[in-house]
Amino acid sequence: MSADYKKNEELSAEQHAEVMADFIAQGEQKAMALGNRGPARFDKDGNLHPEIMEKYWECGFYVFENFLSEDELSGLRVAVDRLLETAPINPETTLNKAGDVVDLSGYAKPPFRYAKPLSDPLGGTTQNKGRHPVKMQQVQVAEGAPDYTINFLDGTLHLMDEALWLYGHPSLLKIAEAVTGPDFVPYNEVAFIKEAGLGPAVAWHQDGTTHWNAADWNEGAHGFNSMTQLYPSTAGNCVWVIPGSHKSGKVDIPALVEKNGSDRFEEAVPMLCKGGEMIIMNRQIVHGSYANSSPARRVTMNAGFFPRERILDVTTEKLNGDLDTYTEKRVEERSRIIPLAVSARQQQFPEEVPYEYAPLQRSEEDLEWSDENRRNILFNYNRQDMYI
Ligand SMILES: O=C(O)CCC(=O)C(=O)O
C-alpha cells in the first residue's frame, strides 16, 4: 500500500483533496484523450450514428455533449431542490426543514436515502450482493457538517414530472434503442446526489450480478445506465471507470486495490462533462466514485436499460437478496413507463417528434398521460424494478 493510503484511517477532507490532486490531473488528461464524446448524432434513418456506438463499445462509456436545453436543465434543477426541501431532515425523523411532518407511508419504496457525509456505506459489506468488495479511503467531515446527507432518490419518475419528461426524451430513448435493441427494457430510475464536501463514496464495483458465467455472455450482457448530469461532473465528484473493463468479465477488484496500493487505480478515468450533458455507461464496466471532498455538487439522473433477452424469464436475486422472476407480464408492466413518459413529454413539448416504443406500439391499454394514469400506472411503478 502506498504511504498516503491510510487503510482503516480517516483523512481530513483537505488531505483527501491533496492526495487526489495528481491522480485527478492525470485522469483528466486520459479521459479527454479517449475520443468518446460529442453531441448525439443520427443517420438519415434516424438511428444513432455508428461511430458513436463503435466508441461506446470500445470504451464502455460515451459522453453526449449539449444534451439538454437550458430550460429543461434549469427545470430539473429546480425540481430536485424543491423535492429535497420537502424531505425529512434525517432518516430518524418524519420532520422536514420547515418542521412539518412528512408522510411517506404511501410509497412502496422509500424515496429518500441518507448516508453519513463522506462515508462509504457499501464498500467491504455484503450489501447489494457483496458487489462492492473494498472500502474506499475514509474521509473526515468538516466541523459543523450535518449528521446525514441525502445521497439517493429512488423512483425519480413518480417524484418529479420533470424527471418523467426527461425520461421521454426522444434522443435518450433512441440511444437506448441503439445500445440494447428496439425492445429494450427499463429497470430503475434513480438520482445520485453528491453534495459538495458531503457526498459519500460509491466503492468500486461492476453493476451486473447475474449473467457473468452465461455461455452466451458478452460485453452488453447486463445492459447500461444513462446518467444525465444536472451540474458539472468533475473529477472530484464524478464516477470513475476503467475504460474497456466491460469486456473483461468479472474483475477481481481487491486485486486491483492491492496492485495500485490504494483505491486510486492508475487505469481509471473520470467521466467528465458539463451540466446538461448525458453519459451512457455499460453496467459491466468497473466503476466507483470517491467521497466528494470537492467544492462542487453533483446530481445525476440515472435511467437504466436491459436487453430484453437478458431479462425475460430470468429468475435471480435482487440486490437485497430476494428472489424475483421476470415474466413477460412483469416486463411488459414495467415497460409501460416508457410510452407514459413519451406521452407526458409530448404534452409538455408538443413541437417535438415523439419516440415510438416498438414493444408497446400495439398495446390495447390506455398509456396516455393523464391524472388517472398518474395514479394507476405511475405511482409506485418502481416496486416493479428489476435487477440482473
Ligand atoms: O453516481 C455514483 O456515484 C455511482 C453510480 C453507480 O455506481 C451506478 O450508476 O451504478
pLDDT of 24 reads: 95
**188 C-beta closer than 6 A to ligand 1:** no
**299 C-beta closer than 6 A to ligand 1:** no
266/289 Cα distance (integer angstroms):
14
336/131 Cα distance (integer angstroms):
30
Q: Which atom of ligand 1 is nearest to the CA of 287?
A: 7
213/65 Cα distance (integer angstroms):
35
Q: Are 230 and 79 in contact (CB under 8 A)?
A: no
Nearest CA owner, ligand 1 atom 6: 288
Phi, psi of 86 (to 5 degrees): -80, -10
**302 C-beta closer than 6 A to ligand 1:** yes
45: helix, coil or strand?
A: coil
Instruction: Tell me the CA–centroid distance for residue 35 and ligand 1, in Å.
Output: 22
165: helix, coil or strand?
A: helix
**202 C-beta closer than 6 A to ligand 1:** yes
DSSP characters over 266-317: TT-EE--B-TT-EEEEETTS-EEE----SS--EEEEEEEEE-GGGTTT-EEE
Instruction: Tell me the CA–centroid distance for residue 224 and ligand 1, in Å.
Output: 12
**284 C-beta closer than 6 A to ligand 1:** no
Q: Which long-range contacts (CB under 8 A, 24 or more apart) does 325-333 make?
A: 326/386, 330/384, 330/386, 331/185, 331/386, 332/359, 332/360, 332/363, 333/384
Q: Are 377 and 336 in contact (CB under 8 A)?
A: yes
Q: What does the block give as the cell for 23?
A: 491522480
226: helix, coil or strand?
A: strand
Q: Which atom of ligand 1 is nearest to the CA of 289?
A: 3
- List Cα–Cα distances, 352 to 64, 68, 345, in angstroms: 19, 13, 9
One pLDDT digit (tens) per residue for the chain, 388 residues: 343 455 556 888 888 888 898 899 999 999 999 999 999 999 998 999 999 999 999 999 999 999 999 999 999 999 999 999 999 999 999 999 999 999 999 999 999 999 999 999 889 888 888 889 889 988 888 889 999 999 999 999 999 999 999 999 999 999 999 999 999 999 999 999 999 999 999 999 999 999 999 999 999 999 999 999 999 999 999 999 999 999 999 999 999 999 999 999 999 999 999 999 999 999 999 999 999 999 999 999 999 999 999 999 999 988 888 899 999 999 999 999 999 999 999 999 999 999 999 999 989 999 999 999 999 999 999 999 999 9
Q: Any alpha helices (H) in the chain, and if so which ranges?
A: 13-33, 50-59, 70-86, 127-130, 156-159, 161-167, 170-180, 253-260, 328-335, 337-348, 371-373
pLDDT tens for each residue of 66-97: 999 999 999 999 999 999 999 999 999 999 99
224/287 Cα distance (integer angstroms):
13
Residue to probe by mutation, ligand 1, list 286, 287, 306, 387, most atoms within 8 Å of CB: 287
Residue to probe by mutation, ligand 1, list 239, 278, 298, 388, most atoms within 8 Å of CB: 239
Instruction: Tell me the CA–centroid distance for residue 288 and ligand 1, in Å.
Output: 6
Beta bridge partners of 48: 42
Q: Are 183 and 308 in contact (CB under 8 A)?
A: yes
Nearest CA owner, ligand 1 atom 8: 207
pLDDT tens for each residue of 324-360: 999 999 999 999 999 999 999 999 999 999 999 999 9
Q: Which domains does the chain have, with CATH numbers?
A: 10-384 (2.60.120.620)
Residue to probe by mutation, ligand 1, list 302, 305, 387, 388, most atoms within 8 Å of CB: 302
**Contacts of residue 33, Cβ cutoff 8 Å, sequence gap at least 6:** none
**Contacts of residue 339, Cβ cutoff 8 Å, sequence gap at least 6:** 357, 360, 363, 367
**226 C-beta closer than 6 A to ligand 1:** no
**207 C-beta closer than 6 A to ligand 1:** yes
**289 C-beta closer than 6 A to ligand 1:** yes
**189 C-beta closer than 6 A to ligand 1:** no
Q: What does the block give as the cell for 93?
A: 425523523
